[in-house]
Amino acid sequence: MLKNFRYSGPSDILFGVDVHRELGAKIGELNGNRVFVITDPGVAKVGILEKVLKVIRDKGIATGFYDGVVPEPPIESVQEIASKVRQGGFDLVIGLGGGSPMDVAKVVSVLQSNDDPIESMVGTGNVRNRGLPTITIPTTAGTGSEVTQIAIFTFEKEQTKKGIVSPFLFASAAVVDPVFTYDLPSHITAHTGMDALVHAIEAYLSLKANPMSDMYALEAIGVISKYIRKAVHNGEDIEARYFMSLGSLQAGLAFSNSSTAAVHALAYPLGGTFHIPHGLSNTLMLKSVMEYSFSGNLARYADIAAAMGENIDGFSEREAALRSIEGVENLAIDLGVPTKLREMGIPREAIPKMAEDASRQTRLILQNPRRLGVEDIEKIYHNAW
């Protein structure tokens, strides 16, 4: 198909071992004089926050920080952090951590120049003004949030997750240093790494895929499939850590210009209602969603199998497509990640309500390679149970 497309992202990406040491110079380029770092308690505890603050202070730049971001942050928590930034007169915001601190930082930035209530920004294109310069620094290899224009929050009353999507959420710079992932425990490496793989797979299968997102998606699928086992089981392997950070970044560059699809849509209720970590939720849904959707685009499923390094020589297109599903299932088994909802204690009776919730994630559902309605979603949940 001859598709027109638009490709956008942050204007600057710094990638590599110890690249965080260039942070002071980057802040200078962005004219930052008072820098506010947003992170979570885990990142603070392992000393990464202190390391980052020191690099900035060594350049004579004033700093402030907030280290209390919770996973799957509730939307209400963001306003309070935004007030601290305003009251302290800060002029540059850094998001340091997994997806949650980076997403919070991106929205805190735009809240400095938009008086609208944060709830009115939910959806696509509802942020009116650009915010403060932002720098995103991931400490996991998974979310890709460092390069996306998306921020996801939990809406506790509705027990679901929703996104704010705006070009003003692109960071001014992403600083991706694999060093920050060296000490991640293996189960977090596995969950976040699977999230990155799902980003790449869904970006490639999405109806919004384009030649640029395809390029990053296939590259990411290959890199992640090759290195994820090593990174999970030999966390000290710095080559595996380097390539997982790279694969996660490439997957982010893919899905931010394509989209994710039904895996993410069906995973959200698991996070919103049962507080299952995001990467694990995606892994739980991956196989069943792929089984449902594969006949919607056999050729692309076959490409995924090839990118994963599955041997498809002499296979028909359908057989090759099925190899991609086998490939992701084997990966989850090898990594020791649960693949069934019942293993997580989710009651089967919860399925109808989860299916209702998932069907409302139209931003994602509508991009799936095969159409799906509430009844289809229920069937997929039952297969995943």
Task: List residues binding Fe ion (CB under 5 A).
Answer: 195
Q: How far is the CB of 107 from Fe ion (least distance, A)?
A: 17
Sign of CA dihedral 214, 264, 43, 340: negative
Q: How far is the CB of 207 from Fe ion (least distance, A)?
A: 18
Q: How far is the CB of 142 from Fe ion (least distance, A)?
A: 7
Q: How far is the CB of 26 from Fe ion (least distance, A)?
A: 26
- Residue 126 burial (10 A CB sphere; 0-12, 13-18, 19+): middle
Residue closer to Fe ion by CB (options 114, 154) is 154
Give the residue from 134, 242, 229 showing the smallest Cα distance to 186. 229
Place of tokens 């560059």: 253
Residue closer to Fe ion by CB (options 114, 282) is 282
Task: Tell me which amino acid residue 218 is.
Answer: L
Give the residue from 184, 149, 27, 141 showing the smallest Cα distance to 94. 27
Give the residue from 140, 179, 150, 374 showing the smallest Cα distance to 277. 140
Residue closer to Fe ion by CB (options 44, 289) is 289
Q: Cβ(116)–Cβ(128) under 8 Å?
A: yes
- Residue 350 burial (10 A CB sphere; 0-12, 13-18, 19+): middle
Distance CA 359, CA 353 (A): 10
How many C-alpha atoms does 150 have within 13 Å on its Cβ side? 21
Place of tokens 């559902």: 365
Q: How far is the CB of 278 from Fe ion (least distance, A)?
A: 6
Q: Is 333 left (phi over 0), alpha (psi -120 to 50) or beta?
A: alpha
Residue closer to Fe ion by CB (options 103, 195) is 195
Distance CA 350, CA 129 (A): 40
Residue closer to Fe ion by CB (options 202, 219) is 202
Q: How far is the CB of 236 from Fe ion (least distance, A)?
A: 26
Residue closer to Fe ion by CB (options 195, 310) is 195
Give the 3-state secondary structure of residue 15. strand
Distance CA 145, CA 38 (A): 14
Residue closer to Fe ion by CB (options 91, 195) is 195
Give the residue from 151, 147, 254 showing the smallest Cα distance to 211. 254
Q: How far is the CB of 263 from Fe ion (least distance, A)?
A: 9
Q: How far is the CB of 199 from Fe ion (least distance, A)?
A: 6
Residue closer to Fe ion by CB (options 85, 384) is 384
Residue closer to Fe ion by CB (options 196, 240) is 196
Residue closer to Fe ion by CB (options 52, 203) is 203
Distance CA 64, CA 50 (A): 11
Q: How far is the CB of 163 from Fe ion (least distance, A)?
A: 11
Distance CA 290, CA 308 (A): 15
**Pairing verdict, β 150-155 and 160-165:** antiparallel
Q: How far is the CB of 34 from Fe ion (least distance, A)?
A: 32
